[in-house]
Amino acid sequence: MTGNADDTILLAVTGWDPDVWQTEFAKAAPARKLVLDADTAKDKIRYALVWKQRPGSLMGLPNLEVIFSLGAGVDHIFHDHQLPDVPIVRIVSPDLTMRMSEYVVWQVLDHHRLGLRYRQQQTQKVWHEDRRQPAAHEVTVGILGLGVLGRDAAQKLRNLGFRVSGWSRRLQTIEGVTSHFGKDGLKDFLKDVDIVVCLLPLTPETKGILSMSMFAQMKAEGPLGAPVLINAGRGGLQNEPDILAALDRGMLSAVTLDVFKTEPLPKGSPLWTHPQVVITPHAAASSSPQALVPEIIAQLESYERGEPLKNIVDKAAQY
Ligand code: NDP
Ligand code: OXD
């Protein structure tokens, strides 16, 4: 288990600039060797740090012991069907959790306090104040996914006075939060929600879950009008034509989307210009190399001291 001067770390990222990760590694672990290309050190690579690695690029590394995801989500790893049989560890970090809770609170409050409407009024220089503003305690925010991120967001929304409910695969108990779980629990969860926040992982079970069949189970009218949807989980969770149809039929009153089936969102997507859609560019909780690299190095060191790895992904469930 103990580290050895020859041990090498592979940084296998696509779509992200590797330089800033390399810089942080050089600062946090100057004695460790980091390579961007496996071919230069195939039999020395002991760990791989990955974000959307090229399919097959983790095979043929005889001494690979652990794959570290550089994000909280791991669907980007499972898109590769040629994976070695080693543990996968994902990011669980106070920095990332705080960023996501900020995003969720920001978007929930924006919809709750009629931000879209007021921004539209401002562009037209309209002063129109007759719409009633519901109190937070009249509004139920439902969180799909009560994991590390959903749980923290739920607690912060509770502290703001919202009614909060959640849905998970197995029963999760959080003080002050109404819990639902499993396929059978989804119907009850959906019938009461005014704002739905999706923080689910993308797995074979959750793919496409944000669809017309879900929207049709939500109540037609609440304190904010029709329900609002906020998705900061993954684009593959959502059916984008269904979201647009639900908005146009008044089944959803507004949506915030941080993630998309295709990223960057294609210029031709009608989501860009829909007046009831807020778009952010997969920026809800970005992985910060400054915060995360020291945490990954700390995990490596404790693993090399013989301690068990933390935050191991369940490969069968794919999250
Ligand atoms: P966790 O693994 O901690 O939590 C996942 C939650 O989803 C759990 O509550 C789990 O249930 C629930 N879940 C999984 N499958 C199902 C299912 N089939 N039915 C019902 N519930 C299910 O993940 P995190 O909270 O750390 O992260 C969630 C996701 O957020 C990531 O996978 C990633 O996709 C996304 N993300 C997005 C970012 C962005 O910038 N937009 C940044 C970071 C993450 P149970 O509790 O029973 O296991
Ligand atoms: C993540 C992300 O999964 O940034 O961490 O999407």
Indicate the top mutation candidate among 14, 286, 292, 311 to test ligand 2's pocket, ranked by most ligand atoms within 8 A of CB. 286
Sole residue written with tokens 């959640």: 166
- 38-92 pLDDT, tens digit per residue, is 998 999 999 999 999 999 999 999 999 999 999 999 999 999 999 999 999 999 9
Determine the structural domain holding residue 49 and report its residue range. Answer: 8-91+287-304
Distance (angstroms) between ligand 1 centre and the Cα of 201 equals 4
Between the two ends of the chain, the Cα-to-Cα distance in Å is 26
d(CA 140, CA 178): 10
User: Could you give the CA distance from residue 229 to residue 267 in angstroms, rounded to a whole number?
Assistant: 22
d(CA 98, CA 236): 24
Indicate whether 124 and 12 sit together in one domain: no
The residue whose CA has the least distance to atom 5 of ligand 2 is: 71
Residue 145 falls in which region: left (phi positive, over 0), alpha (psi -120 to 50) or beta: left
pLDDT in tens, 180-199: 999 999 999 999 999 999 99
Residue 197 near ligand 1, beta carbon < 6 Å: no
Predicted model pTM: 0.97
Residues 145 and 260 in one domain: yes
b or e along 62-87 (b: 16 or more beta carbons within 10 Å of the residue's beta carbon)? eebbbbbbbbbbbbbbbebeebeeee
Inside any domain, residue 2 = no
CATH label of the domain that carries residue 163: 3.40.50.720
- Give distance in angstroms: CA of 30 to centre of ligand 1: 33
Ligand 1, atom 43, residue with closest C-alpha: 72
- Determine the Cα–Cα distance for residues 202 and 317; give it in Å rounded to an integer: 10
